[in-house]
Amino acid sequence: MNHKRSILLFFLLAIALLPYLIICFYAAPYADDFCFGWTASANIPFSQKILNQYLHWNGRYSADVLVNFHPLVTGQIIFYQFAAFLSIIATPFVLLFLLRLLVVDFSFSVIASLLGSLFYLCYMPTITEGIYWFIGSCNYHLGNLFLLLHFIFLMKSLATKDPSKYAFLFSAFLLVIISIGFNEVGAFLIPLFYFSVMVWRGRLKAEKQKLITALFIISFVASAFVFFSPGNFTRSNEFTERYNLLYSLFYASAQTIRFWGTWILNLPLILLSLLLVANAEKIKLRVFLFDYRILLAAIVVVVFAGSFLPYFATGMLGQHRTINYVFFFFLLLWPFFLLSLSQKYLLYEKLNWLKGEFRIFSLTALSICWMTISGNGKLIINDWKNDRFRKYEAAFFERQETILQNPNGVIQPLAVIPRTFRIVDAKADTTWWVDKCMRQFYTETKIKLK
């Protein structure tokens, strides 16, 4: 694609991503934010805060470090909002670093990283809990980014011959340990990935076989720290419908079909997939493409795991947080599946009508425009049109004043909540956990958010 059209697509993507960045500065803390804001402000050693989480609630050692740096402790809500802003900004950059190691064409890498980020934000099942909720972002979205950083450093170590190779390798080992500590889905999938590569090692040289084996052992041990933490057993006792295998298999299969259908039968993904298949021979990769069947199996396993583990551990899928997590990897694997399929069956020869530069530009631009008015983009437009963001902000601070003036009073739910910020709110019920956490935060920390 010529330079002018690439620049135009870049600006279209920047404009389409802008609303997601703007509404960061209307995000407000809710639910677990107040629980962790309260515990993070406790006057005890930082190590004790982490140990309390590990022993009494969950084994997510990486996420627990981050949530104990909760921005509410500062008393400045702008830090909470800026955390969401930075998490969005970081996404295309991390994707770009990865794509530069995989794809030769720089312009293609930039457009693809922005396009992938937009699709991810637009069709994420619950964007509130994925991006605009600090706790959700720490447990899932940042886990995605750290895992990509792990692969980036691993690939750089394999491609480097000078002594910096060992610095990259050390970083890769450290990052795999960190990545596993964000959530249980990652703690299951990462060791499974390295075990699968270790078993299927016909193409690997002896040195790489040792590296993969080492990564499997490290990831397996790190996962054990997550799954067998005392806090995980304590938390699991909250769910009486857990460990029902047949129930979990059935509903996880149904959810896998549901989300696959939602994502694949989607106009932008259909158009972009056709373009990718038609132009597969033009995309020069720096890496070997796996067989399309392996890639397809990987996509199925990833999405299934994001559904099965919550059903098995709790008896329900919950708020789709784990689907947010695996959706990110669906988007990474899907293009490589299409490239492999196209090259295997020479599908690019059958789609010549999609090879012209003008057609590529037009269909990509159409996909971008469609994403701005569909999915979460549509929710943002509707919320903005109905002035819900401003009203939500005003209602949040008004309720805060009410709580501070009457700490023992009943906490009322917010009158206006944007559809983009679908949240678990107070219920005017003193026994409801959200109300309890909110009251503890304001009364025990003496913090007033500004």
Q: How confident is the model at residue 354 (pLDDT cuts 50, 70, 90)?
A: confident
Per residue in 360-391, pLDDT tens? 999 999 999 999 999 999 999 999 999 999 99
pLDDT band at 241 (very low <50, low <70, confident <90, very high): confident
Q: Residue 355: its pLDDT value, please?
A: 86
No. of helices (H) and no. of strands (E), the chain? 21, 0
Distance CA 269, CA 271 (A): 6
Measure the CA–CA gap between 235 and 336, rounded to whole angstroms.
Answer: 38
**DSSP-derived 3-state class of residue 342:** helix
Rounded CA separation 307/305 (Å): 5
Under the banding of pLDDT at 50, 70 and 90, the label for residue 204 is low
Q: Which of 32, 119, 42 is nearest to 364 (CA)?
A: 119
Closest CA to 184 of 153, 222, 154, 148: 222
How do residues 77-133 score in pLDDT, each as one tens digit? 999 999 999 999 999 999 999 999 999 999 999 999 999 999 999 999 999 999 999
Q: CB–CB of 41/73 below 8 Å?
A: yes
What gap in Å lies between CA 180 and CA 413, rounded to an integer? 36
d(CA 277, CA 368): 18
- Going by pLDDT thresholds of 50, 70 and 90, the confidence category of residue 290 is confident
The Cα–Cα gap between 80 and 97 comes to 26
CA distance 411 to 388: 21
The residue-averaged pLDDT of 157-183 equals 95
Tokens read off for 1: 């694609």
Considering only CA atoms, give the Rg of the chain.
23
**Cβ–Cβ under 8 Å, residues 280 and 339:** yes
Q: Alpha-carbon dihedral of residues 13, 142, 374, 11, nearest 10 degrees? A: -10
d(CA 449, CA 200): 54
Is 57's pLDDT higher than 90?
A: no
The mean pLDDT of 67-84, rounded to a whole number, is: 96
Mean pLDDT of 19-34: 96
User: In the 3-class helix/strand/coil scheme, how is 203-219 assigned residue by residue?
Assistant: CCCHHHHHHHHHHHHHH
Cα–Cα distances in Å, from 257 out to 101, 250, 273, 320? 32, 11, 19, 15
